[in-house]
Chains A and B, each alone.
Chain A
Amino acid sequence: MKPQPTGSQIFLATLLCLTTLEASAIMAIRPAPAKEHQHDRRAPKIFNLTGHENSQIKFLTPDLQSSDIKSDNGQIALHPTGKDNYHALYASREHNGVQESAIRYVYFNGKPTGRSPSEITFLNKTDFEIIPDPLAREHWHYKAGDEIAFVIRFKNTPLALHPASLATSNASVLESLTDTQGRVVFVLPDDFAKTIPHARANEPGELLIHAKHADHGNRYATWLSSDYQVSPEHWQSTELGAMVVGGGFLFGAFVTGLGFKRRRKKGEK
């Protein structure tokens, strides 16, 4: 029997296809394969940085405190900060004449900082950046079938009619252009080969948004990675829901109709 490629192999192959830069120029932050201890909220979250050579890695907390992070051969361990909400993990480097950057937003539980995630997303972190507009709200996730939007920004200016692409670990590739406000919208493909009918039972997939840019002879490339989950539409039926609502409505109409009859009978007596 011919061995099937794993999800991460497909994902990396998709990345290679996506970029016209050298294969080694890909830069992406992805979660390390899950281990038992990662279910512990106090355990560090482990990520792998593809293209870590000569990179500078930074970590930004929800209250915008920045710190330098060192990787162990591309592996990054993020310890809980005690601050609730999205944190930004990003890396940048110059590679073969291209200014490259990669970013991932990571959620930690903790004490509220009273700061909006829009502060961390719109903060100028690198010259060329992909900004989620918005991020999936706290406790929410990107899901297959969702419309997700990003702003492509260069030196604080949104880039109009700029190409961007989305690749998933389930081998989907989408390409699109930003609008006049620099905003690009993708509909996440429903591309999970196998789904189990329960939200928590399915492993999330990985998505990667990529854009590149040239300015006065300088070249830039950036990647934003995130997870996305199976659409609950696989086990949730809107049609059935509407039918049950209709059933409830008819039952209510029947009950109130009977009520009127009873009153009339009482009145007649």
Chain B
Amino acid sequence: MFGTQINLSVVRKLVQLGMFIFMVYGASIVGFYAADKISNALPALACAYDAETADYCTLIPFQHQMGHRVGRVIAAGGDVLQAFVPFFITLITFLGMFVLLNKAFCGWVCPLGFFQEVVTMFGQKLGLNKTESLDESLVKRIRPIKWIMLSVLVFGLPILSGIGFVSHDLGDPFCKICPSRILTTLATGSSDQLYVDTSTPTFMTLSIIGDFIFGLMIALALTIRQPFCRICPMLALHAVFKKIGLVRLIKNGKPRCEKCGLCAKACPMDIREIHTDMEHSNVLFADCTLCGRCVEFCPDKDVLQMKYAMFPIISADPQYFKRRKKAQTTWEKVNLFGRYCNQTNKSER
């Protein structure tokens, strides 16, 4: 499918770069106002706080609808239909887009996901030792956090704030700690969202957590792949609807798979089940971002396939695998302190 120099990862990086530019600076194309935005329910973290964004992440309307509509109707009564109609409109809009690309919104569109990948590349070029895979036990402990983020920060606290159980300051708690808010506004040259807010204890706590997570994410991303993606509530929201998406990841397991495991090593989200699961053909797991690296690094013909509906986008292929592995080795050899790193690697051996 691809030429000798171009591979899926290169194509994906180019798409991600284009989407980053469009999502972060695209207001000059789509228009400035909220009414101009593409969907107001994008299945990726393009931030509404960015004055130049082309579209809004769906998590912001969800939080507002929980707080301003659903929570208030629960507390004071009123028209249930009116409380839920905006939520359903947002959900249907989200699903309308989500069905087209499925979880690939994470791996191909999300500005924050791309930023983390760039930071990891930067770390590698600085000669920092990359953590190839996190410990399995650590991965298992991290996985539930995204569900907690979704249920507590996106739905739970906003509803409770609408009911009046908690402060109104907790109306959009996920946005207050989301690193994409800080990243995308800084990318447009504005430091408006980089702050510690001393107006109330709640705002102060949230702003400190948000800033801390942003700094932590950058440091972790230098050596660990996709640190924030692993706890992102959008990943959890995608997981709920992953079966309706048109992009799918298919496995036709063979006995050789048990001894191989290259797909799991290639996975930036450390999904070892891609390797170990021999029962299911659908291997689109909850943490998958549909980046396609597992397919690229599978050495056996057609064992892993990424498909759009029934049409294959890319299938595992021994020849492609060899080229891809060679390209990866060449890429990783190039860094700013090449000689030093080679010597270090030799001495470590």
Using CB atoms and an 8 Å cutoff, list the residues of chain A in contact with chain B. Answer: 62, 85, 112-118, 134-135, 137-139, 197-199, 232, 235-238, 240-242, 244-253, 255-256, 259-260
Known: A134-B33, A256-B220. A248 touches B213 (CB 8 A): yes
Offer 11 A-B interface pairs, CB within 8 angstroms, sorted by A.
Answer: A118-B33, A138-B34, A198-B199, A198-B200, A244-B207, A248-B211, A248-B213, A248-B217, A252-B218, A252-B220, A260-B129
Of B31, B208, B219, which one neighbours A250 at CB under 8 angstroms?
A: B219
Given contacts A241-B194, A251-B212, 4 further A-B contacts (CB under 8 A): A116-B33, A134-B33, A235-B199, A241-B195
Residues of A within 8 A of B216 (CB): 248-249, 251-252
Known: A137-B33, A241-B196. A256 touches B223 (CB 8 A): yes
Indicate the member of A117, A135, A248 with the most B CB atoms within 10 Å: A248
Residues of A within 8 A of B31 (CB): 116, 118
Residues of B within 8 A of A259 (CB): 131
Please give me the residue from chain A that is nearest to B89 by CB atom.
A112
Residues of A within 8 A of B207 (CB): 236, 241, 244
Task: State the CA gap A232–B196 with chains docked (Å).
Answer: 11
Q: Is B198 an interface residue (CB 8 A)?
A: yes
Task: State the CA gap A248–B32 with chains docked (Å).
Answer: 33
Interface of A is mostly: helix
Residues of B within 8 A of A236 (CB): 195-199, 207
Please give me the residue from chain A that is nearest to B221 by CB atom.
A252
Q: Is B258 an interface residue (CB 8 A)?
A: no
Q: Is B214 an interface residue (CB 8 A)?
A: yes
Using CB atoms and an 8 Å cutoff, list the residues of chain B in contact with chain A. Answer: 31-36, 51, 129, 131, 182, 191, 194-200, 207-208, 211-220, 222-224
Please give me the residue from chain B that is nearest to A201 by CB atom.
B199
Task: State the CA gap A127–B78 with chains docked (Å).
Answer: 46
Please give me the residue from chain A that is nearest to B193 by CB atom.
A241
Residues of B within 8 A of A248 (CB): 211-219
Task: State the CA gap A162–B215 with chains docked (Å).
Answer: 46
Task: State the CA gap A255–B223 with chains docked (Å).
Answer: 11
Residues of B within 8 A of A135 (CB): 33
Known: A248-B216, A256-B220. A197 touches B35 (CB 8 A): no
Known: A116-B33, A116-B36. A252 touches B198 (CB 8 A): no
Contact A249 B199 (CB under 8 A): no
Of A117, A137, A199, which one neighbours B51 at CB under 8 angstroms?
A: A137
Contact B195 A85 (CB under 8 A): no
Of B34, B36, B211, which one neighbours A245 at CB under 8 angstroms?
A: B211
Contact A244 B34 (CB under 8 A): no
Contact A246 B215 (CB under 8 A): yes
Residues of B within 8 A of A235 (CB): 197-199
Of B131, B191, B211, B222, which one neighbours A244 at CB under 8 angstroms?
A: B211
Please give me the residue from chain A that is nearest to B32 by CB atom.
A134
What 10 pairs between A and B have smallest CB-CB spacing? A252-B219, A248-B215, A244-B211, A236-B195, A240-B196, A249-B215, A245-B215, A248-B212, A248-B216, A235-B199
Residues of B within 8 A of A237 (CB): 195-196, 198
Residues of A within 8 A of B217 (CB): 248, 252
Contact B35 A251 (CB under 8 A): no
B22 to chain A, nearest CB (A): 18
Of B191, B208, B219, which one neighbours A251 at CB under 8 angstroms?
A: B219
Contact A244 B33 (CB under 8 A): no
Task: State the CA gap A101–B32 with chains docked (Å).
Answer: 27
Task: State the CA gap A134–B198 with chains docked (Å).
Answer: 30
Contact A115 B35 (CB under 8 A): yes
Residues of A within 8 A of B218 (CB): 248-249, 252
Of A116, A245, A250, which one neighbours B35 at CB under 8 angstroms?
A: A116
B347 to chain A, nearest CB (A): 12
Task: State the CA gap A232–B49 with chains docked (Å).
Answer: 14
Task: State the CA gap A237–B195 with chains docked (Å).
Answer: 5
Residues of B within 8 A of A134 (CB): 32-33
Of B51, B199, B219, which one neighbours A256 at CB under 8 angstroms?
A: B219
Contact B222 A256 (CB under 8 A): yes
Contact B35 A238 (CB under 8 A): no
A197 to chain B, nearest CB (A): 4
B32 to chain A, nearest CB (A): 5
Please give me the residue from chain B that is nearest to A264 by CB atom.
B348
Contact A247 B215 (CB under 8 A): yes
Task: State the CA gap A242–B194 with chains docked (Å).
Answer: 7
Task: State the CA gap A139–B56 with chains docked (Å).
Answer: 14
Task: State the CA gap A250–B198 with chains docked (Å).
Answer: 23
Contact B34 A137 (CB under 8 A): yes
Indicate the member of A114, A138, A139, A236 with the most B CB atoms within 10 Å: A236
Contact B199 A199 (CB under 8 A): yes
Please give me the residue from chain B that is nearest to A251 by CB atom.
B216
A21 to chain B, nearest CB (A): 34
Task: State the CA gap A238–B211 with chains docked (Å).
Answer: 10
Task: State the CA gap A4–B198 with chains docked (Å).
Answer: 31
Task: State the CA gap A111–B260 with chains docked (Å).
Answer: 56
Please give me the residue from chain B that is nearest to A235 by CB atom.
B199
Residues of A within 8 A of B223 (CB): 256
